[in-house]
Structure 1
């Protein structure tokens, strides 16, 4: 991911408002099909251990990842909108699902947990059950704890600390 520019070093303001010397631009995955396929396979390894009926990918970065996972695993995908449509059907959740189905939230990463909790709220309002969320990267900035306090399980493919350790061992970054 470092090689495609999805891991950037510098000074960044995150969606949460926090400042960070590292930024994960996972929206770039859509431009690298081979990398996106590898990411989907990594999610699939985690997802095969969970109990769920349907994938629920949160826009924007989570949606292409969710689509790749749906194709990899042949599992239906829905997506909760950030706001309900003001035209057409007016749906807050797009796709086909049945009341009571178990959805697993797919997101690119977690920082504070706010976006995943927003996704869960929209899914629950649509009468879906949610217990789990899966992310590629846990930034380790209290998101896991926030989800746990709300009664949800977070499954991360890799933590930020692990990612930085791998990059350092492969001489992509230095400890300083």
Structure 2
């Protein structure tokens, strides 16, 4: 039996094995074509994999200073909920659209004006959905400086966030995942190269 793998290496293999990392030809939300598709929404159906993901987020979050976790709708929400339970930290989330009934809230949850929020999302491509969430949070009196994602697709998102004055922390990059998958014979070097070429 081989030694226990480092947690991030194990997570990369788990993501592939549950179908959260797929190679092929895909059209992304942005309209761009890609040779890799990351479907981290699957994590909620695999509690053990979700626990591995939470541990990866914790490696980053334990070094940050914040009052509340803020999850992006919808992909960040199950991850934010799992982290809220694991870290015993309050969770809030901006709605896609403000409620037109009841309290008409734009942000769900409890916070104080001036609280610092760290944003949780599953991955970053361009960074646009994170920036939209930040606008809503700041409009409600929260301070936001940092965001944490599981995977950086390495398609300009980190630089985009930086240009707007925010720091992005990613547990893993696409390159790292691909090299782990190749090292463990889940994919070939030819497949890895095709994906990397498609990211440009």
Could you tell me the TM-score, scaled by structure 1's length? 0.98
Equivalent in the alignment of 2:110: 96
Q: What CA distance in whole angstroms lies between the structure 2 residues aligned with 1:33 and 1:59?
A: 20
- Aligned pair partner of 1:24 in 38, 41, 52: 38
Alignment of 1:26-45 (within 5 A): 26-45=40-59
Q: What CA distance in whole angstroms lies between the structure 2 residues aligned with 1:163 and 1:89?
A: 43
Could you tell me the TM-score, scaled by structure 2's length? 0.86
Q: What CA distance in whole angstroms lies between the structure 2 residues aligned with 1:88 and 1:121?
A: 22
CA RMSD of aligned residues (A): 0.8
Per-residue deviation at 1:142? 0.3
| SS of the residue 1:2 aligns to | helix
- Greater C-alpha Rg: 2
- Once the two structures are overlaid, the 10-residue window that deviates more, 33-42 or 154-163, is 33-42
- Structure with greater proportional helix content: 2
Alignment of 1:3-82 (within 5 A): 3-82=17-96
- Aligned pair partner of 2:150 in 136, 160, 163: 136
Structure 1 residues 112-166: Cα deviation after superposition (integer angstroms, max 9, x where no partner): 0000000100100110000000000000000000000000000000000101111
Structure 1 residues 57-80: Cα deviation after superposition (integer angstroms, max 9, x where no partner): 001111000111111111000011
- Once the two structures are overlaid, the 10-residue window that deviates more, 50-59 or 7-16, is 7-16
Hey, which bits of structure 1, 4+ residues long, moved more than 3 A?
Answer: none
Q: How many aligned residue pairs are there?
A: 176
Structure 1 residue runs without a partner (length 5+): none
Equivalent in the alignment of 2:139: 125
Q: What CA distance in whole angstroms lies between the structure 2 residues aligned with 1:4 and 1:64?
A: 17
Per-residue deviation at 1:81? 1.2
Structure 2 residue runs without a partner (length 5+): 1-14, 191-200
